[in-house]
Amino acid sequence: MAKHTRVNRQTAVQARLSEICRNNGGLLTADAVLADAKSPKSPLHGEFIWNDREAAHKHRLEVARNLIASVRVVIETSERSIRAVAYVRDPRSKTRDQGYVETVRVRQDGDYAREVLIEEFSRAASVLRRAYELADALELRQETEKIIARVDTVLNRLKSADEARA
């Protein structure tokens, strides 16, 4: 029953977004979606946090995440200097928990580094699969397939090395 409810909700959201897009000259904007969602009668209303204190807190957390992601660090190796993100999502944190770890700390532990890369490449693969769906719809699928295959190859190598160590 939960799956049926989710499908109904997705269908209602999709229909409403299509309606907003049509009413806005074929352009869907966040402002238009929010304006519609303000009405308790809108099927989009329940997708938003209307308690200003809670919404502000969640927004501030998102700003904090963006700040964390914006910091870069220069890592010196014997061959070259590498500029990379200073903090990465800690793969050892539970899925719903917050947690970032310093890239330089992860670098010192091969197993930890592999776990971070598996998570990063898994996230990249998900984004590429979304891009693939879009590329398929726009008849540009072939170029995207090659990129996804390369990312999958790296991800599978990382996972195999990780499993071999376990």
Please tell me the predicted confidence (pLDDT) of residue 164: 72
For residue 82, how far is the Cα from the chain centroid? 24
pLDDT reading at 1 higher than 50: no
Residue type, 103: T
pLDDT score at 2: 56
Beta-carbon-side half-sphere exposure of residue 136 (alpha carbons within 13 Å) = 8
How would you class 154 by CB atoms within 10 Å of its CB: exposed for 0-12, middle for 13-18, buried for 19 or more? middle
* Lowest-confidence pick of 39-43, 45-49, 113-117: 113-117
In the block, which residue shows the tokens 């800690």?
A: 90
pLDDT value at position 27? 87
Indicate whether 6 pLDDT > 60.
Answer: yes
| Eight-state DSSP code of residue 86 | S
Q: What confidence tens digit (pLDDT) does each residue in 135-153 have?
A: 888 888 877 788 888 888 8
Please tell me the predicted confidence (pLDDT) of residue 3. Answer: 59
The residue with greater pLDDT, 2 or 97, is: 97
Global pTM? 0.61
